[in-house]
């Protein structure tokens, strides 16, 4: 369908070679976009994607550094002349203990999950104003919408180590508000800003090491299954394309129904 055609668009995907980022990158490529994966590791990019696709490239970025973000975006503009889609997928966090959370770990995570998104958006505003258009997609989380169910998910069965920490959920909740803020601010320039809140998408290593925890995730979900990275492809295609030109400020839950219970 032409409405999903991105063949004239340039997309930047932060962390576009990770567990979920790879599927998002592939979705944009399948819609015809030229995709720049922005991340810290050129080696990981090469291992994940190789060098076969001429519409795919890598650009280094540190999402916590304004100077690095500016350099990354300037390099993309210099090479391709524009940026049409920004997909804020990467984050940086540390610290899991609720009771022993250090001030340093809290601040680091708020910077790496929330402030980094503000910085990337801020640095693209002048370009999007000039272009009179653009798409911004922020990857939030179901834990930006509700609290973890500590009793049913994490008690016993060696599941405590997967407990979602408080600063991560707080930062993702603030990201949802930031999405609304920028949607209103930038709407008059033809820019749509939306968020996607993935539900249970455990990494393969977790699936292998703790079937008990995975079964708990399945049983708590209305669809009785966990998410696979490709389950995000459709919403990324939608929010990146002309199909979402009248959608802005929204957070779309891709969670198997987790957040409706």
Answer whether residue 44 is part of any domain. Answer: yes
- Min mean pLDDT across 4-8, 46-50, 95-99 is at 95-99
- Give the model confidence (pLDDT) of 48-62 as tens digits: 999 779 999 999 999
Region 99-125: mean pLDDT is: 96
Arithmetic mean of pLDDT over the chain:
96
Percent with pLDDT over 90 in the chain = 95
d(CA 28, CA 123): 22
Answer whether residue 69 is part of any domain. Answer: yes
- Give the model confidence (pLDDT) of 168-207 as tens digits: 999 999 999 999 999 999 999 999 999 999 999 999 999 9
Answer whether residue 159 is part of any domain. Answer: no
Residue 217 has pLDDT above 80, yes or no: yes
Answer whether residue 223 is part of any domain. Answer: no
Phi-psi category of residue 256: left, alpha or beta, with phi > 0 → left and psi -120 to 50 → alpha: left
Residue 246 has pLDDT above 80, yes or no: yes
Residue 99 has pLDDT above 90, yes or no: no
Which domain CATH number covers 45? Answer: 3.40.50.720
Cα angle value 246/250/255 (rounded, 5°):
125
Number of domains composing the chain: 1
Q: Which residues make beta-bridge pairs with 11?
A: 35, 85
pTM of the model: 0.97
Domain that holds residue 109: 2-152+166-206+228-255
pLDDT at 52: 76
Answer whether residue 161 is part of any domain. Answer: no
């Amino acid at each position: 369908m032409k409405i999903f055609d991105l063949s004239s668009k340039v997309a930047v995907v932060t962390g576009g070679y990770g567990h979920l980022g790879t599927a998002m990158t592939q979705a944009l490529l399948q819609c015809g976009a030229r995709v720049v994966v922005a991340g810290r590791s050129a080696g990981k990019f090469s291992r994940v994607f190789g060098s076969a696709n001429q519409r795919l490239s890598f650009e280094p970025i540190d999402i916590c550094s304004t100077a690095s973000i500016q350099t990354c975006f300037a390099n993309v503009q210099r090479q391709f002349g524009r940026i049409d889609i920004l997909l804020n997928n990467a984050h940086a966090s540390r610290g899991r203990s609720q009771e022993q959370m250090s001030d340093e770990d809290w601040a680091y995570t708020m910077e790496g999950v929330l402030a980094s998104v503000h910085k990337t958006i801020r640095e693209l505003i002048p370009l999007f104003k000039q272009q009179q258009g653009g798409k911004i997609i922020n990857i939030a989380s179901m834990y930006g919408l509700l609290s973890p169910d500590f009793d049913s998910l994490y008690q016993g069965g060696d599941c405590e180590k997967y407990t979602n920490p408080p600063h991560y959920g707080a930062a993702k909740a603030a990201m949802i508000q930031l999405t609304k803020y920028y949607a209103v601010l930038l709407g008059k320039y033809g820019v749509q800003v939306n968020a996607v809140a993935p539900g249970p998408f455990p990494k393969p290593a977790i699936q292998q090491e703790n079937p008990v925890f995975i079964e708990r995730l399945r049983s708590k979900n209305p669809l009785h299954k966990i998410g696979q990275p490709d389950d995000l492809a459709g919403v990324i295609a939608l929010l990146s394309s002309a199909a979402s030109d009248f959608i802005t400020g929204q957070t779309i839950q891709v969670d198997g129904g987790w957040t409706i219970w």
